[in-house]
Structure 1
Amino acid sequence: MKRNRNRNKAFAFLVITALTACSGPPDLGDKPLSDRTLNLEEFFEGKSVAHGQFQDVFGNVQRRFDVQIAGTWDGRILKLVEDFTYDDGETEQRIWTLEKTGKDTWKGTAPGVIGKATGQENGDTFNWTYRIDLPVRKGTMRVDFDDWMWLLADDRLLNRAYVSRFGIRIGEAIVVFEKK
């Protein structure tokens, strides 16, 4: 009986993995959703807040969070100080240092990020990818983020981050940023 349950769980996992592999993230070549233009440095300079959650591949919400963000822009470097508060009361601070490397391209670092994060703006969209040793409740977990952001209004940005480990999607983070 237990053997059948384990076999069923393994089969369900393979089916979910196959289905999520078929539905990929957006592409910078996709048609823009609006005529707005996202300029990361303009949106994040000053104070902003974010509200989000992480959910696994089955759609189960695993954790919710709020973030207070302070951004400074010096004409080349965008520094973001992110203060996270999780639904269980845990707190975390992540400090990003992003460098504008071209008209629409960025690279950046933050504690835990392996190598450099890279990003590109296109119209109302920004794509940001990186590998990070992400703090989790019992240590850290090395994961890859494929962040997609869309400027919904001058003061609102939607972020959908596809999170994978060993090339297999393990979940998504959905975040809404609001400029103060």
Structure 2
Amino acid sequence: MTRARRYLLLFVIAIAAAASVPAHAKSLVLEEFFRGKTIGKGVFESKIAGVYRPFTVKLTGTWNQRTFTLKLREDFVYDDGERDTKTWFFQKVAEDRYIGQRADVLGLTNVRTDDTGVLRFSYVASLDTENGPLLLRFDDTLKQVDRNTVENTAKVMKAGITVGTVSLTFKK
């Protein structure tokens, strides 16, 4: 095979590989997707505790260009009627990295985009229960499926043991 044919073959392979990259490979940019109004439908499930709790969450995102901070208010309504509100603050510190905080989360949360464009973060939240506060670790993954859709999955852990999962789809 001639050198020119080898280069042509490599060029064709590179084009085919680039064309086969799925749409979700585009990195999720929090302040772009979550700015304004977003609706999420999801479920918390714990097979250990026999819990299956569907919910809807309405998000309102406000981007502050001066401080590079996204304020993300989450208003939850569970199918059983319970309501809850959480507010995240994500400060953009690099093109693929944020620092997040929320009132019920212990410490700061590092949010990073991996090589596939998926956003990942892990945090410990203190949840109020009738028996007092319960500390749970959440390992979240957010993947942009298309322009208007982000899928969020999370493992929920206590003492290193997975006790539940969250599956959630956000739509613009």
Q: Which residue of 2 aligns with 1:50?
A: 40
1:66 lines up with 2:56 in the alignment: yes
Instruction: Tell me by how many angstroms 1:161 deviates.
Output: 0.3
The gaps in structure 1 that reach 5 residues or longer are: 1-30
Residue 63 to residue 142, structure 1, CA distance change in 2 (3 Å): same
Higher alpha-carbon Rg: 2
Q: Which residue of 2 aligns with 1:163?
A: 156
Normalising by structure 2, we get a TM-score of: 0.79
The gaps in structure 2 that reach 5 residues or longer are: 1-20
Q: Which residue of 2 aligns with 1:153?
A: 146
Normalising by structure 1, we get a TM-score of: 0.76
Instruction: Tell me by how many angstroms 1:138 deviates.
Output: 5.7
Match of 1:37 among 7, 13, 27: 27
Q: Which residue of 2 aligns with 1:15?
A: none
- How many residues get paired? 149
Residue 136 to residue 88, structure 1, CA distance change in 2 (3 Å): farther
* Separation of aligned partners in 2, 1:83 and 1:168: 28
Contact 1:33 1:124 in 2 (8 A): no
SS at match of 1:41: helix
Match of 2:84 among 88, 92, 98: 92
The two structures, once aligned, show a CA RMSD in angstroms of 2.1
Match of 2:125 among 106, 109, 132: 132
Contact 1:57 1:172 in 2 (8 A): no
* Separation of aligned partners in 2, 1:155 and 1:138: 40
- 4+ residue segments displaced more than 2 Å: 31-37, 57-62, 134-140
Contact 1:53 1:61 in 2 (8 A): no
* Separation of aligned partners in 2, 1:167 and 1:35: 30
Q: Which moved more, 1:57-66 or 1:110-119?
A: 57-66
Give the counterpart letter for 2:30 in structure 1.
Answer: L
* Separation of aligned partners in 2, 1:155 and 1:59: 34
* Separation of aligned partners in 2, 1:124 and 1:32: 11
